[in-house]
């Protein structure tokens, strides 16, 4: 019986980890999106967006990926709303000495944190 429960627990963790995408916190959703985009994995990047990346704009995101190598991206903080269902993630993006501070909205969708839109 113990072996069965151990296997069941491990299977549950694997299913949660591989499930519908997204992240366990809003900062990881934003970082996951940018890392996937930088790596050219549009399908993975789409998992971090509420509603996903629409098919008609996916080619644009594929073109952006290589340019991401030149950016210095950092999550600088976040604030989760009192209801626990939405958050704002603060980011800093540097390019050729210029730094831009942004706020990225995130929500919980299907039990995981995802970005609202992509910031592009």
The pLDDT score that the predictor gives to residue 46 is 94
CATH number of 23-115: 3.10.450.50
pLDDT of residue 3: 33
Model's pTM, two decimal places? 0.78
Q: What is the pLDDT along the chain (120 residues), one digit of tens a residue?
A: 333 222 222 222 222 333 458 899 999 999 999 999 999 899 999 999 999 999 998 888 888 877 888 889 999 999 999 999 999 999 999 988 999 999 999 999 999 999 998 655
Domain extents for the chain? 23-115
Element (H, E) at 109: strand 98-109
> Please, are residues 116 and 88 in contact by the beta-carbon 8 Å criterion?
no
- Answer positive or negative: Cα dihedral of 23, 86, 45, 20: positive
**Who contacts 68 (Cβ-Cβ below 8 Å, separation ≥6)?**
34, 37, 38
């Amino acid at each position: 019986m113990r072996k069965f429960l151990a296997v069941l627990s491990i299977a549950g963790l694997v299913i949660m980890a591989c499930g519908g995408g997204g992240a366990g916190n809003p900062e990881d959703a934003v970082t996951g999106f940018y890392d996937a985009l930088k790596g050219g994995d549009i399908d993975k990047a789409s998992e971090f967006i509420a509603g996903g990346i629409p098919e008609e704009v996916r080619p644009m995101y594929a073109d952006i990926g290589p340019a991401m190598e030149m950016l210095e991206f950092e999550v600088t903080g976040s604030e989760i709303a009192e209801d626990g269902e939405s958050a704002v993630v603060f980011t800093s993006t540097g390019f050729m000495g210029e730094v831009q501070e942004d706020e990225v909205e995130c929500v919980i969708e299907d039990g995981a944190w995802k970005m609202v839109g992509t910031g592009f």
